Amino acid sequence: MALLEVQNLGISFGGLRAVDDFNLKIEKGQLYGLIGPNGAGKTTVFNLLTGVYKPGMGIIKLDDQDITSKKNIEINEAGIARTFQNIRLFKELSVIDNVKVGLHNQYHYSTVTGILRLPKYKKIEKEMEEKALSLLEVFDLDKEKDTLASNLPYGKQRKLEIARALATNPKLLLLDEPAAGMNPNETKELMDTIRFVRDKFEMTILLIEHDMKLVSGICERLTVLNFGRVLCEGPTSEVLNNPEVIKAYLGE
């Protein structure tokens, strides 16, 4: 049973079919890559999966549960978390508070409890603090826990976004161009981090990436998107040697 199963997914903006007849199957624990030239519709697929856009047609199933056209927050609850192509951290919040916001869907106390600072408030806040710290330690961000997110260096902001997404306790993690803007050393470190996240949290990961070194280095399977349609799908080495794919990237 695949963790994520997408069938015939499609959406149009005006007359443009941004994504058409898109199919995808990801097994639990897989590191899966979604690649394709600029404007192929990769981020649109992410937006469809996370409920930012409502699909015009098709079915999205996570763990055999139909999540098509559900609200963002319900999809998050069902177990999909993501990062963004252009980092969207809460810049005015501290590093640890960013992660704590991600924990909100699992830790509950009422507003009144918070205002009156009842014992339950202290207990849960302490649990959240500890959980957030342990996540930050994984990403080597614990020393900067009180820094404002906007003051972190770029590479660490990317890591913090992954930590925040993991804090929501997902089954499937979507990474939108995690290596964008990184230098080769940072990219190499990121590859280790992604592998580490998969092993440590037994996470299933779907990522969009242009950096072919990263894609061929860590992804087990790939789907190639071109003009909103699936061009081909299969194990990484096969896909990258497919003449159709090379043509789409480099032209004739």
Partner 1 sequence: MKFISFLIDGINLGSVYAVIALGYTMVYGIAKMLNFAHGDVIMVGGFASFFATSAMGVNPLVSVLIAMVVCTILGIVIEELAYRPLRNAASSLAVLITAIGVSYFLQNTALLIFGSAPKQFNSVVNIPMLMLFDGRIKISGETMVTVISCIIIMVCLTLFIHKTKSGQAMLAVSEDKGAAKLMGINVNFTIGLTFAIGSGLAAIAGVLLCSTYPTLSPYTGSMPGIKAFVAAVFGGIGSIPGAFIGGLLLGIIEILSKAYISSQLSDAIVFGVLILVLMIKPTGILGKKLQEKV
Residues making contact with partner 1 (CB under 8 A): 50, 52, 71-73, 76-77, 81-82, 84, 88-93, 97, 100-102, 104-105, 107, 109, 111, 114-115, 121, 124-125, 128, 164-165, 167-168
What residues pair up with 33 in beta bridges, in sequence order?
207, 222
> Measured from the CB of residue 246, what is the shortest distance to partner 1 in angstroms?
34
Closest CA to 164 of 141, 188, 187: 141
Of the two residues 85 and 242, which places its CB atom closer to partner 1 in the complex? 85
CA separation, residue 98 to residues 84, 103, 135, 157, 205 (Å): 14, 9, 11, 11, 21
Phi, psi of 58 (to 5 degrees): 100, 170
> Measured from the CB of residue 242, what is the shortest distance to partner 1 in angstroms?
33
Of the two residues 1 and 115, which places its CB atom closer to partner 1 in the complex? 115
**How is 154-218 classified by DSSP, letter by letter?**
HHHHHHHHHHHHHHT--SEEEEESTTTT--HHHHHHHHHHHHHHHHHHT-EEEEE---HHHHHHH
Of the two residues 52 and 246, which places its CB atom closer to partner 1 in the complex? 52
In sequence order, what are the residues at sequence separation of 6 or more whose Cβ sits closer than 8 angstroms to the Cβ of residue 127? 107
For residue 219, the SS3 value is: coil
> Measured from the CB of residue 167, what is the shortest distance to partner 1 in angstroms?
8
Pairing of strands 221-226, 57-62: unpaired
> Measured from the CB of residue 160, what is the shortest distance to partner 1 in angstroms?
12
Of the two residues 71 and 247, which places its CB atom closer to partner 1 in the complex? 71
Which two structure tokens, joined as six digits, stand for 157?
């902001």
Of the two residues 120 and 188, which places its CB atom closer to partner 1 in the complex? 120
Of the two residues 81 and 214, which places its CB atom closer to partner 1 in the complex? 81
Place of tokens 């909103």: 228
> Measured from the CB of residue 207, what is the shortest distance to partner 1 in angstroms?
16
- DSSP class of residue 150 equals G
> Measured from the CB of residue 110, what is the shortest distance to partner 1 in angstroms?
9
> Measured from the CB of residue 161, what is the shortest distance to partner 1 in angstroms?
9
Of the two residues 159 and 221, which places its CB atom closer to partner 1 in the complex? 159
Which two structure tokens, joined as six digits, stand for 45?
């697929």
Inter-residue contact 215 to 33 (CB < 8 Å): yes
